[in-house]
């Protein structure tokens, strides 16, 4: 008799535990959702409302009306690359973009394992009354709070705010090039083709290096435009220790901003969202003689740009200042601000150019390498909000000095030279190191090539100064 009673008690306890477990609802156990269409607003209206608030000098919008939005989940925390947040967008595809723009929002929710309930493609309704709209980490976000810092929706309340519907839709990513992505693409699912991991990041893991504190940042570059963007991977993701793929192909991810809102990033839901199945890469030719322990005692060429005129194109001293794309060139610049110049420096700035592409070359006069020994190159670079634009230093042994023949010459990257990176601080100037040129023969030109555009994700500023070529005799 006692045994039967114990069995009955244990069975009741187990049944009670199951009935009280609401963390993962049954597939058909959906809340009743019956909201009049008149109470729904649009993502576009939310964006416009926030923009008006910013214009009025406010940083947030608090919703007091009984309003709802509907959207589709495009993030997943199953692989650990998202944490306590949902990214939703208003459309399953990119149809009718002019009248109904494809937009996204981030929801801050203090709950883990959200993908168990709100999986990729799940249609949801969001009850906006009492919520706050503002920017968090550079993207438009919905949460709680009354000041500029967006706080999380808490576990005790989120089920009454994020309403799960029965529908799970197929999401078609927007296919775009990097240079055509804009701020309106943030918090949305995109696909970019013809990408590869930058050659300097090959052999690294996604986010498992000793230098990866919370996120790993790896450079993705487009083989046609040369545009680049950072791939951001959480050091808590389950694929952080995988080595990044060495080939090229396509990638699907959420377009966003980094944690400090310094630059644009792509964030994967899972590692299989990178399909790099094309063996051939598009790396430039390289020359690497290494770094020399010291400079030579004889100077062959020197430029500190002090004799140049501010905001005028760099001229004289044998320089070729050539604009390959766009309408800008290298100009002299002087500033005593936080990102100060070194007196007067050479600068390339494509912001507000209005150009789809800006490529500018600043090329030294010819240097005969056969007349000297122990040649070295040294220079300094700095940037300001590089925004995925970039600067390269190259040389060619066969350019005839005619800008029209520039592309016919064999330009190689001087890979030993350190050039300031997008992720570097914008305050200091960085030394290139004493770049050894002694393994190069013939008559050469050295070029500093800027690549960017007038688009906000590719419109950074680069500065150059104290360029010198020396030899031992």
309, two tokens: 């005129």
On whether the CB atoms of residues 246 and 207 are closer than 8 A, the answer is no
Query: Residue written as tokens 């555009």?
Result: 453
**Nearest to residue 112, comparing CAs of 84, 154, 87, 88?**
84
Phi, psi for residue 50 in degrees, rounded to 5 = -70, -40
* Bridge pairing between strands 274-278 and 298-303: unpaired
On whether the CB atoms of residues 220 and 266 are closer than 8 A, the answer is yes
Q: Write down the pLDDT at residue 159.
A: 92
Q: Write down the pLDDT at residue 338.
A: 65
Report the distance separating Cα 15 and Cα 261, nearest Å: 49
What pLDDT digit, counting tens, does each position of 282-327 carry? 988 889 999 999 998 999 999 999 999 999 999 999 999 999 999 9
Q: Could you say which residues of the chain have pLDDT below 70?
A: 1-32, 338-340, 387-388, 457
On whether the CB atoms of residues 105 and 61 are closer than 8 A, the answer is no
On whether the CB atoms of residues 76 and 112 are closer than 8 A, the answer is no
Q: Say whether 54 sits in a helix, a strand or coil.
A: helix
**Nearest to residue 299, comparing CAs of 469, 454, 141, 451?**
469
DSSP letter for each residue of 191-222: EEEEEEE-GGGTT-BSS-STT-SSEEEEEEEE
Total number of residues shown for the chain: 473
Q: Write down the pLDDT at residue 41.
A: 97
Helix (H) or strand (E) run with residue 115 in it: none
Helix (H) or strand (E) run with residue 43 in it: helix 43-55
Phi, psi for residue 350 in degrees, rounded to 5 = -100, -5
177, two tokens: 């090039």
Class of residue 207 by CB neighbours under 10 A (exposed 0-12, middle 13-18, buried 19+): buried
Helix (H) or strand (E) run with residue 5 in it: helix 2-20
pTM: 0.72
């Amino acid at each position: 008799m006692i045994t039967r009673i114990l069995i009955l008690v244990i069975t009741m306890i187990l049944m009670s535990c199951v009935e009280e477990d609401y963390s993962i609802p049954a597939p058909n156990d959906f809340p009743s959702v019956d909201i009049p269409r008149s109470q729904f607003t649009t993502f576009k209206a939310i964006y416009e409302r926030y923009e008006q608030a910013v214009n009025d000098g406010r940083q947030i919008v608090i919703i007091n009306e009984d309003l709802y939005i509907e959207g589709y989940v495009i993030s997943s925390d199953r692989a650990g690359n998202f944490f306590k947040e949902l990214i939703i967008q208003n459309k399953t595809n990119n149809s009718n973009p002019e009248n109904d723009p494809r937009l996204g929002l981030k929801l801050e929710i203090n709950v883990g394992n959200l993908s168990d309930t709100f999986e990729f493609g799940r249609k949801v309704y969001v009850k906006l009354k009492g919520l706050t709209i503002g920017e968090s980490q550079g993207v438009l976000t919905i949460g709680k709070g009354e000041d500029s810092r967006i706080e999380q929706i808490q576990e005790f309340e989120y089920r009454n705010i994020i309403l799960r519907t029965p529908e799970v839709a197929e999401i078609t990513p927007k296919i775009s090039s990097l240079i055509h992505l804009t701020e309106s693409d943030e918090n949305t699912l995109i696909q970019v083709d013809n990408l590869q991991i930058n050659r300097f990041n090959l052999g690294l893991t996604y986010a498992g290096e000793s230098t990866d504190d919370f996120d790993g940042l790896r450079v993705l570059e487009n083989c046609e435009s040369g545009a680049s963007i950072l791939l951001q991977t959480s050091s808590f993701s389950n694929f952080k220790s995988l080595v990044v793929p060495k080939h090229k192909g396509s990638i699907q991810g959420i377009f966003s901003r980094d944690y400090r809102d310094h630059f644009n990033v792509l964030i994967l839901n899972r590692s299989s969202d990178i399909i790099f199945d094309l063996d051939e890469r598009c790396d430039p030719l390289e020359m690497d003689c290494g770094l020399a322990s010291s400079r030579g005692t004889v100077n062959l060429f020197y430029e500190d740009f002090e004799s140049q005129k501010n905001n005028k194109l760099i001229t004289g001293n044998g320089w070729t200042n050539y604009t390959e794309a766009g309408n800008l060139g290298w100009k002299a610049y002087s500033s005593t601000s936080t990102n100060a110049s070194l007196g007067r420096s050479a600068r390339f700035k494509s912001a507000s150019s209005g150009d789809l592409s800006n490529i500018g070359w600043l090329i030294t006069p010819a240097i005969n390498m056969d007349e000297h020994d122990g040649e070295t190159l040294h220079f300094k670079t700095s940037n300001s909000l590089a925004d995925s634009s970039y600067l390269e230093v190259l040389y060619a042994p066969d350019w005839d000095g005619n800008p029209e023949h520039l592309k016919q010459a064999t330009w190689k990257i001087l890979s030993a030279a350190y050039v300031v990176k997008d992720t570097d601080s914008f305050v200091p100037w960085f030394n290139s190191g004493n770049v050894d040129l002694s393994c190069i023969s013939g008559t050469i030109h050295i070029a500093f090539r800027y690549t960017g555009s007038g688009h906000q994700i590719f419109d950074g500023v680069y500065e150059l100064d104290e360029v010198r070529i020396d030899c031992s005799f």
